[in-house]
Amino acid sequence: MTSDGIRTEIRNLVLNHDAEGLALRLPKLTDAERATVAAELPGLLAELRESPLLAATVGWDAFDWTADDQVTGPSEVLMMVGAATIPGPAGVATWLMKRDLNPRWSGAPSPHRLVKAVSGRPVAWRADLAVRLARRIRRPDDRIVPPALALLRDVEATPPDHEPLVAAWLSAVGVAKDPLTPHLLPKIFEAAGAGRALVNETLTPKPSRWLALAARTLPREQIITGCVSRFLLGGDAQDLRFFVRLHTLVAPTPEESAGRLRDYLRLLPAAPGPVAELAWQQVRQARLDPADVAEAIEAMTFRREAKLAVKGLTWLDRDLATAPERVADHVTALTNAYGHASHEVRDRAVTLTLKHADHLTDPAPILEAAELLPPASARQLFERFTEGWTSDFTPGRLPEATIPGPFPTSGLESGPPEEIGWIDVEAWLAAITREAHTNPDSLKETLARRFGEHLRPVLYDAPTWQSPRDWCTALARELVNPGEDPGPPMSRPPRQRPSYRKTMADAEQAFPGLSGDLGQALYDGMVNVAATAFQLFPGLRTVVPLHEMPDYVQEEILRAIDVQTDLYDPKAQPAPWNRLPHLRECARPHAFLLSRLDELLRAAKAGALPPVLLATPTRADGHLDPETLLNRLAVCAESGCEPLPLDLEQALLRLPPNPAPDLAERAKGIGSAAAAVVARWFERGAPPPPEVEVTWTLDLGSRVVPYDDHVLDQRGIANVSWQPVEPAGLAHLDALLTAPEMRPFRRVSRHFWPGMTPHHRELAAAHLAIGLIDRFDPPDITIDDLRNLTLAEGASGPATALVLAYFLTVEGDDAVPPLLQLAAKGALPAAETGRLLGLFGRRTRYEADPALPSLELAAKQGAHAEVWTILRHFLAVFLPREGERAQRLHTDAVMLAIDIATWADARGEIPEVAAHAKKRGSTSLIRVCRSLHQFLTREA
């Protein structure tokens, strides 16, 4: 056939994707025809890559193009043509690995057709190609694996020494009487990835393919040696699972294992659990000298698996039964077990130590390691080995309750904008108000210097100000440049909106169909949809950059948003100069704080700042001295102005709950309306703390139902609610005393809250506890919030307990100082804290485990009586109920309770503990419950 004829024939076969036709035709090509076709390959590949329309004209249904312009349909036929026509094996290997012919996500070419296509080549040539392809394998899923294996099998070539080839061969589809088996099967013991490729091989009900083949084909000695060598190389349990099962299948005899005992001993301390178990079985049945026995047992007790550690201690007991004088050789094994996580292991170790104590001549290592044991277990060792030792432990004394210092008097050089802590803000606001009356020029100069570079570019363009920093900045700027604030965007005069055709001129180029009335309608519709979305979902304003939109778009959207709603009445009409967020958006204390700042800003705009702020605390915890308040009221009365209403309400919240009897008459004598409000407050006293209730519900998606402890693996929601016992008659203050109807999504300025209610700790805690345990994760609360709560005064209840229990589980020892402070003040809600800790372990993702060491630390530092109350109520909720499985944490909790009960000299039966103590059996939990029950019910 002529050159043109052969080119046309092969080209047509390629364009028709006729792989079978090529498999029949290519082996029959002459050397000259191969050269002709090979010369056309680059051009054909380029033609296919650069002309996708050609595929449609020739009816190539299988043809496809990827984002990288790779040929995916005809890649197999091109690979066949190149393999059959390119002269040398090296060139063919390069062609077959060509990126254009191996697109991502495509399947492997048919190995049988490729083998058939090159069948016209000499055997040596094909063997060379097969070896070259095999060396290019990197992973078992490489596309080149099937053709490489097929070529190796076809010519029965010796495969190269290439580890990825072994894993690829093991992962590929097997063939009967595979000629590669004698070459590759012995390499499974050292080839990386072989164990992972064989991870699914099983022994039962009968050995699967590779296990049976290896046991049947390889010599026993080779298998045993190979498995042990593979164990010594290391790896995780999955990598070694096949070799463990193969070793088990072969079942070496003691004689076969005798020469490898040192290797098995090396595997005991650190090999994966199944390997260590296998090694223990080999070592245990061998005849070892005493030193090797001690080494093996020491390795077993060092392991974290309780099952292996118990086997080691059982072996130790049997060894000492015949030679008790060798107990000194096993001291390290015993002390290893003292620090084990398993109670069973620790208990066995202590029991064995006491059993063979008469043969221990040097108990010093035992006593030193006893510190690793729970106190109840350690006590037994100290009593046995220390003459005159007493188990009495005297806990420390509670620290003195922290007495807050006087409230700092701040100048204008501190505070915002650098600092935004609540004390800094309160002191700065007091200084601003004072200086505005005494030194207005100096105040303006100072504020201009400090706030000149702190005006956020979009401050005045924002519809709401969520942060106290924004309000402080706006107040400072107003005092420097009166009238600078143009007001919220919606309160400004409307601008003339550019016509649709002008504003959308550029858009028409990208969207030619949007023009005329249709385009105007679509534009207006998009603005209306955006406005509706912002109205329905107020939170969008915090994430969507309105300031980046054109001015006229911002205005149209903002005018449709109800951001001017009165803070405490969702049905109220908009107020034109209000940048306060809606009540749905933020927590009540945050709303109250921002309302005070808004009140100050309004007064500054009106030139009506009072001479002094009433609510500035006199103590660093937020407390306000009644005498100081009366003096401030007198100053305001003398100046002829009434204090700001919210400033007055905040001052009332900071007063102590039980004023002196004469204060009401003195307040009446001032003669102002604000003083009359204070007089009535003195007469009535502060409102009692709210009665907070914590209830639990389950969110089932379509409905919320009460929590059912029988529903497993469901996270509960802790709902915090309360009603003020007695309203104060002041709108904003009563709103603060009332629980919100839904969880607010914005809870910034939390560190202000305890200082806003310094004599109402439970109220601040209730607001902090809202949403603390629910679907949203993680909650926006920090350990500093708990520390601030401890500084407050007043009663503590479920809300304080919920916050404390939460931080005991997530912060551990950092929660101990606040716990001690609450205990020192006599304000620790211990019973409720213990009950909630128990519920956490059952109903939330928070485990009680981190809380136990912290409770022990608090008990040692003097809060042992309070911690015992916590543990008593914790165990009543936390211990497993009928049908539930006991966990290690249950035993740990009871062990700790035994020690704390001893320190607190506690008495009184705990029914839940008694129920476990009366059960039959000798599990760790039952034993420790018996010990605790016996101690609590002892006679006086």
Summarize pLDDT for 833-864 with one digit per residue, the tens.
Answer: 999 999 888 888 888 888 998 999 999 889 99
214 close to 179: Cβ distance less than 8 angstroms:
no
450 close to 401: Cβ distance less than 8 angstroms:
no
**Mean pLDDT calculated for residue range 818-847:** 90
Q: Which pair of structure tokens corresponds to residue 537?
A: 């979902």
For residue range 260-278, list pLDDT tens digits in order.
999 999 999 989 999 999 9
Give me the residue spans of the domains in the chain.
Answer: 3-174, 312-391, 489-562, 693-878
Residue 557: the pLDDT is 56
Residue 720: the pLDDT is 85
For residue range 667-723, list pLDDT tens digits in order.
888 988 999 999 998 988 877 878 888 888 887 665 666 776 655 556 778 888 887
Is 9 strand, coil or helix?
helix
Position 506 pLDDT exceeds 50: no
Measure Cα distances from 618 to 257, 633, 645 in Å: 82, 15, 20
Position 106 pLDDT exceeds 70: no
Position 404 pLDDT exceeds 80: yes
Position 186 pLDDT exceeds 90: yes
**Mean pLDDT calculated for residue range 442-456:** 76
Residue scoring higher pLDDT (44 or 502): 44
Residue scoring higher pLDDT (546 or 756): 756
For residue range 142-173, list pLDDT tens digits in order.
888 999 999 999 989 999 999 999 999 999 88
**Mean pLDDT calculated for residue range 895-911:** 90
**395 bridge partner residues:** none
Sorting pLDDT into bands at 50, 70 and 90, what band is 52? very low
pTM of this prediction exceeds 0.85: no
Position 573 pLDDT exceeds 60: no
CA atoms of 818 and 804, how far apart (whole Å): 8
Place of tokens 């706006």: 474
Measure Cα distances from 607 to 449, 483, 597 in Å: 22, 11, 15
Helix (H) or strand (E) holding 489: none
Residue scoring higher pLDDT (723 or 34): 34
| DSSP per residue, 494-541 | PPPPPPHHHHTHHHHHH-TT--HHHHHHHHHHHHHHHHHHHHH-GGGG
Sorting pLDDT into bands at 50, 70 and 90, what band is 807? very high
Position 391 pLDDT exceeds 80: no
Residue scoring higher pLDDT (507 or 910): 910
Q: What percent of the chain has pLDDT over 70?
A: 81
Residue 172 zone, left/alpha/beta (φ > 0; ψ -120 to 50; rest): beta
Position 441 pLDDT exceeds 60: yes
Q: Which pair of structure tokens corresponds to residue 280?
A: 């223990």
First-to-final CA distance of the chain: 116
Q: What percent of the chain has pLDDT over 90?
A: 31
485 close to 450: Cβ distance less than 8 angstroms:
no
382 close to 370: Cβ distance less than 8 angstroms:
yes
Q: Which of 394-398, 438-442, 822-826 has the lowest average pLDDT?
A: 394-398
Tell how far CA 432 is from the center of its chain.
Answer: 43
